[in-house]
């Protein structure tokens, strides 16, 4: 009896073979003699020799923690550890490797390729929340857009956001990957909860900043994001130094910042 091979894996295999390397979440897929190679995207230019060859049963462990040993709640985060390479001999092996590194990513990609799925818009998702998350539905569109831009920033996630907020189109894939995001994840929801709570409860302050102050502030944002506090958990949105919190504050100040991007 012939073993079942997922049509999604066959389609992705064909895409890499016919079109060349593909960024799939935090993973780079590239053709190799007799199969495909998987590695961290940041190891794109590394020749295979210095990379450690990891078998299938070692991939799931790789996906669990970042280089500092912190748990990775979002397997599509760019903080997947590097320095390894995995060889997949056929589409079935590719399927198994991706399931270990980025569960659900292949199915989501294929459902969008086939046009058989529809992303869930923010408001629809927010309206069905209950318990401690029920208030996120009260955020207005500009507030929800800030949360989406900060929480789904390419520094935090390699999935391409296809769900919409307000009237805005889905995210452009620049800096992301072909793996889609079809509805907000738990990390985004928690950031939204915190933003909604502070937007309604916190007292407002007014300060006047000069252009020079704003340049300094933007430099500080960059430094904090480039050198995150490795003692903080990615999912801890109560920590002021959480990169998503920093990105959210930067979103609020963006119209006044020199870069404005």
Binding site for ligand SF4 (CB under 6 A): 74, 76, 151-152, 156-157, 159, 161, 181, 184-185, 187-188
| Rounded least distance, CB 115 to ligand SF4, Å | 20
SS3 letters across 118-168: CCCCHHHHHHCCCHHHHHHHHCCHHHHHHHHHHHCCCCCCCCEECCCCCCC
The residue length of the chain stands at 261
Q: Are 193 and 147 in contact (CB under 8 A)?
A: no
Report the DSSP beta bridge partners of residue 52: 84
| Rounded least distance, CB 244 to ligand SF4, Å | 8
In this complex, which beta carbon is closest to ligand SF4, that of residue 91 or of residue 152?
A: 152
Count of CB atoms within 10 A of residue 121's CB? 15
| Rounded least distance, CB 64 to ligand SF4, Å | 17
In this complex, which beta carbon is closest to ligand SF4, that of residue 82 or of residue 105?
A: 105
Helix (H, G, I), strand (E, B) or coil at 23: strand
How far is the C-alpha of 232 from the C-alpha of 42, rounded, in Å?
Answer: 23
C-alpha triplet 197, 198, 204: angle, nearest 5°: 145
| Rounded least distance, CB 60 to ligand SF4, Å | 19
| Rounded least distance, CB 180 to ligand SF4, Å | 9
């Amino acid at each position: 009896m012939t073993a079942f091979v997922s049509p999604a894996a066959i389609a992705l295999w064909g895409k890499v073979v016919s079109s060349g390397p593909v960024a799939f979440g935090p993973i780079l897929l590239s053709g190799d003699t007799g199969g495909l190679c998987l590695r961290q995207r940041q190891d794109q230019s590394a020749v295979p020799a210095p990379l450690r060859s990891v078998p299938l049963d070692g991939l799931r462990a790789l996906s669990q923690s970042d280089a500092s040993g912190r748990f990775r709640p979002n397997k599509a985060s760019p903080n997947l550890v590097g320095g390894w390479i995995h060889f997949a001999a056929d589409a079935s092996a590719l399927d198994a490797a991706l399931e270990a590194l980025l569960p659900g990513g292949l199915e989501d990609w294929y459902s969008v390729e086939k046009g058989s799925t529809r992303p869930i818009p923010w408001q629809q998702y927010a309206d069905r929340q209950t318990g401690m998350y029920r208030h996120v539905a009260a955020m207005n569109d500009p507030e929800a857009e800030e949360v989406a831009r900060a929480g789904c920033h390419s520094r935090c996630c390699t999935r391409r956001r296809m769900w919409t907020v307000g009237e805005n189109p889905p995210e452009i894939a620049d800096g992301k990957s072909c793996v889609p995001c079809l509805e907000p994840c738990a990390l985004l929801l928690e950031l939204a909860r915190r933003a909604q709570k502070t937007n309604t409860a916190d007292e407002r302050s007014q300060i006047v900043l000069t252009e020079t102050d704003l340049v300094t502030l933007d430099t500080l944002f960059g430094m904090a994001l480039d050198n995150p506090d490795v003692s903080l958990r990615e999912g801890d949105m109560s920590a002021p130094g959480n990169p998503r919190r920093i990105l959210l504050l930067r979103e609020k100040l963006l119209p006044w910042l020199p870069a404005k991007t």
